[in-house]
């Protein structure tokens, strides 16, 4: 049901790879709520073609950009501004990838070139997207910029590997740039820390099914699905959240503040 929460707003949505992606669901909801936006993803993700179907459904275009390339981001913003007919009110950074995770390197045997790649793709690209936005003065006042995080940024989840540091960096960048952009232009910057979600990035993490089920049993509301995350993102882009900034917002069914649940106690009764 549309409340037109994003009527008249323009923006950029990164990271829609397939219909499971958090960004894919966000695009559909943002469209439903009246937003105009451009979709973007790494050129390599474009080959899979699915994003063009999404663009059709959202009545928009796709502009390829590697989020680690400042030049690509500049080109993306310039072309998107022309297509949308003005500056942006929101940017979604929904990007994450670790070559170490993908290639099964353990935390005690990391390839450091890949560590740099993990940080660059999953965190520094967030800074790059904001720095380019600031330099091009492409955000409207009271705009909203969001990244997506995971609780392994703050607590140890051994399987999360070098992505844990990448997410810690992402959350720190949100605070630092949030301060700067708030002062400069009243733009807010936050991260949403999402439950484990069955997407390409999510299921690529070792032992995903176990920790998906574990956190589902721990959370009083159960794991938050991607669709609900998309709704939260839309709310954070709307004018209803103008004074929320520099926060890491847990969207996890209550998981982050649960010490233990009856479900888990039951499983350990006889140990
Ligand atoms: N799935 C989960 O369990 C989970 C939980 C918490 C947070 N997150 C985060 O949510 C975000 C979205 O991931 P998702 O779960 O929807 O998975 P996804 O695999 O659908 O999306 C990840 C996206 O990152 C894009 N990407 C990778 N390298 C890029 C680059 N160099 N330039 C531009 N784009 C690039 C991919 O093409 C893909 O579209 C990520 O930041 C992820 O870490 C996911």
Q: Tell me which residue of 181, 66, 38, 80 sits closest to 124, measured CA to CA.
A: 66
3 CA from centroid of ligand 1 (Å): 28
How many Å apart are CA 190 and CA 247, to the nearest integer?
5
* pTM for this prediction: 0.98
Coil, strand, or helix at residue 265? helix
* Ligand 1 pocket mutation, candidates 40, 92, 96, 250, criterion most atoms within 8 A of CB: 96
218 CA from centroid of ligand 1 (Å): 24
How many Å apart are CA 219 and CA 87, to the nearest integer?
39
How many Å apart are CA 258 and CA 14, to the nearest integer?
32
184 CA from centroid of ligand 1 (Å): 29
Q: What CATH number belongs to 10-267? A: 3.40.50.720
Q: How far is CA 7 from CA 59, 98, 129, 229, in A?
A: 15, 36, 24, 20
Q: Looking at the predicted structure, is the pLDDT value of residue 269 above 90?
A: no
Predicted local distance difference test score (pLDDT) of residue 230: 98
Predicted local distance difference test score (pLDDT) of residue 91: 99
Long-range (24+ apart) CB contacts under 8 A made by 68-74 are 68/120, 68/121, 68/124, 68/125, 68/128, 70/128, 70/131, 70/132, 73/128, 73/129, 73/132, 74/132, 74/136
Between residues 19 and 201, which one has the greater pLDDT? 19
* Ligand 1 pocket mutation, candidates 94, 168, 229, 248, criterion most atoms within 8 A of CB: 94
Whether the CB-CB separation of 258 and 218 falls below 8 Å is answered with yes
Query: Across residues 107-121, what is the average pLDDT?
Result: 98
How many Å apart are CA 169 and CA 54, to the nearest integer?
30
Q: Looking at the predicted structure, is the pLDDT value of residue 26 above 70?
A: yes
CB of 66 closer than 6 angstroms to any ligand 1 atom: yes
pLDDT band at 1 (very low <50, low <70, confident <90, very high): low
Which ligand 1 atom lies nearest to the CA of residue 14? 34
CB of 140 closer than 6 angstroms to any ligand 1 atom: no
How many Å apart are CA 262 and CA 220, to the nearest integer?
10
How many other C-beta atoms can be found within 10 angstroms of the C-beta atom of residue 61? 15
104 is in an annotated binding site: no
Going by alpha carbons, the residue nearest to atom 36 of ligand 1 is 15
| CB burial readout 166-202, b (16+ within 10 A) else e | bbebbbebbbebbeebeeebebbbbbbbbbbbebebb
Predicted local distance difference test score (pLDDT) of residue 53: 95
Which ligand 1 atom lies nearest to the CA of residue 195? 5
Catalytic residue annotation: 150, 160
Query: Across residues 31-47, what is the average pLDDT?
Result: 94
Going by alpha carbons, the residue nearest to atom 11 of ligand 1 is 94
Query: Across residues 134-144, what is the average pLDDT?
Result: 98
- Indicate the domain borders of the chain: 10-267
94 CA from centroid of ligand 1 (Å): 5
Whether the CB-CB separation of 30 and 37 falls below 8 Å is answered with yes
Q: Tell me which residue of 41, 35, 34 sits closest to 76, measured CA to CA.
A: 41
Between residues 199 and 81, which one has the greater pLDDT? 81
How many Å apart are CA 12 and CA 4, to the nearest integer?
18
Say what percent of the chain tops pLDDT 70.
99
How many other C-beta atoms can be found within 10 angstroms of the C-beta atom of residue 47? 8
């Amino acid at each position: 049901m549309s409340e037109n929460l994003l009527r008249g707003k323009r923006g950029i949505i990164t990271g829609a790879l397939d219909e499971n992606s958090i960004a894919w669901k966000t695009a559909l909801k943002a469209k439903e709520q009246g937003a105009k936006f451009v979709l973007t993803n790494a050129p390599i993700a474009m080959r899979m073609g699915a994003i063009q179907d999404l663009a059709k459904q959202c009545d928009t275009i796709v502009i390829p950009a590697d989020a680690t390339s400042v030049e690509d981001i500049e080109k993306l913003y310039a072309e998107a501004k022309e297509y949308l007919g003005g500056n942006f009110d929101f940017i979604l950074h929904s990007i994450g990838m670790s070559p170490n995770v993908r290639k099964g390197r353990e935390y005690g045997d990391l390839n450091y070139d890949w560590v740099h790649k993990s940080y660059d793709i999953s965190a520094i690209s967030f800074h790059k997207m904001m720095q380019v936005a600031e330099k091009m003065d492409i955000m409207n006042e009271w705009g909203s910029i969001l990244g997506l995080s995971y609780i392994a940024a703050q607590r140890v989840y051994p399987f999360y590997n070098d992505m844990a540091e990448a997410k810690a960096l992402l959350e720190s960048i949100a605070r630092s740039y949030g301060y700067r952009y708030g002062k400069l232009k009243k733009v807010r910057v936050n991260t949403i820390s999402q439950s484990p979600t069955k997407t390409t990035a999510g299921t690529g993490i070792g032992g995903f099914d176990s920790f998906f089920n574990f956190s589902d049993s721990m959370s009083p509301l159960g794991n938050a699905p991607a669709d609900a995350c998309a709704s939260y993102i839309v709310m954070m882009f709307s004018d209803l959240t103008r004074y929320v900034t520099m926060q890491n917002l847990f969207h996890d069914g209550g998981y982050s503040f649960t010490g233990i649940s009856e479900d888990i106690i039951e499983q350990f009764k006889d140990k």
